Amino acid sequence: MTSAPPLPDILDSLVALTAQRERRTLEISLLTTLRELLKDCTVALYNCRWIDGHPWWRIQLDSLDELPQQAQPWTLPGAKMLRILLQQDERQDVYSTDTGLCLPLYQANQVVAVLMITPHAGARVDHTLLLALARIHENFLNLLHASDSDTLTGLFNRRKFDNQLFDQVAQQQASTPRLPYLALLDIDHFKQVNDGYGHIIGDEVLLMLAQRMQQFFGEDDGLYRYGGEEFAILFCAVSDEKAQAILEGFCTRIATQPFPQVGQVTVSIGFARLGSCMVPAQVIERADKALYYSKTNGRNQVNQFEALQQQGMVSEAEVASGDIDLF
């Protein structure tokens, strides 16, 4: 059996692990930490996502520098792993597999990731150390979820939106093949839903809309509850036309899939491109003006600020640089 790592090395690893404030960097930090501490093992981390009650998984890339299109596709796990993810067998801290050990990681009692440990010839794994690091990771994952998520819908909250929009604008990714966009989405006539059916049904509409957003948009798209019945989406597309088509596809899906007890629900969307030399307040104002145009010109439609600006339908307010508030 390999000797346990020195205590200073373990403490350094814990410091690095608990310094993370984003889920992906937290996962990469856990992966790096375990590979350093379990040198006689191969360590892999698989992310899990749930769609209509079914788990899909894919291996976590080792670096934040990897492009989204280089990620492995989501696949259905094999029968044995599927039983573990669905918790159909007696729950264990560590499961034995054909190649080594499997350690599920949980959030709100649902598996969100899986550690796969394959010991090299003759090596044995320190289960106590492995479990301790896994539980620390789970605790931080739950803390991040609590601070970044909207309690009703499970989407990211306004605080998370502010931070990620600021980061997105600061990166100024104008040279990349895919262009970044901000879309603001508003449920049409939502006050009538609350007044006619009550706030409990209104909350169900918000929750169901959030679930349909998660099903429609990709894992790398940022989905946020912006406030009340308004939502925000940070996403990328190869062109303005493609971005318009993506959002129109979502708009159509919402309009054609009835909501229980309420019937048809529609949404209005306005979006804008994130350009270089912009500040977050400018991007939000542009998307908001496009959203306002959609709502005052028939609703249940998608409009882009830049296209409306070219047609003379909207204009951008001139704001002195010293007067701009980031948020």
pLDDT along the chain (327 residues), means of 10: 52 50 74 85 88 83 50 82 88 89 87 91 84 84 82 92 88 68 97 96 96 88 95 96 98 96 96 89 96 97 97 74 39
**Buried b vs exposed e over 229-256: b needs ≥16 C-beta within 10 Å?**
bbbbbbbbbeeeeebbebbeebbeebee
Q: Specify the pLDDT at position 175.
A: 55
Q: Specify the pLDDT at position 150.
A: 93
Question: Are residues 116 and 47 in contact, defined by beta-carbon separation less than 8 angstroms?
Answer: no
Burial of 63 (0-12, 13-18, 19+ CB in 10 A): exposed
Does this model's pTM top 0.75? no
Q: Can you point out the beta strands (E) in 219-322?
A: 222-227, 230-237, 267-273, 302-304
Q: Output helix, strand, coil percentages for the chain, rounded to the nearest 5.
A: 45, 25, 35
Provide the annotated active-site residues: 229
Q: Specify the pLDDT at position 327.
A: 35
Q: Specify the pLDDT at position 277.
A: 79
Q: Specify the pLDDT at position 1.
A: 45
Domains with residue ranges and CATH for the chain: 7-148 (3.30.450.40), 158-323 (3.30.70.270)
Q: Specify the pLDDT at position 16.
A: 53
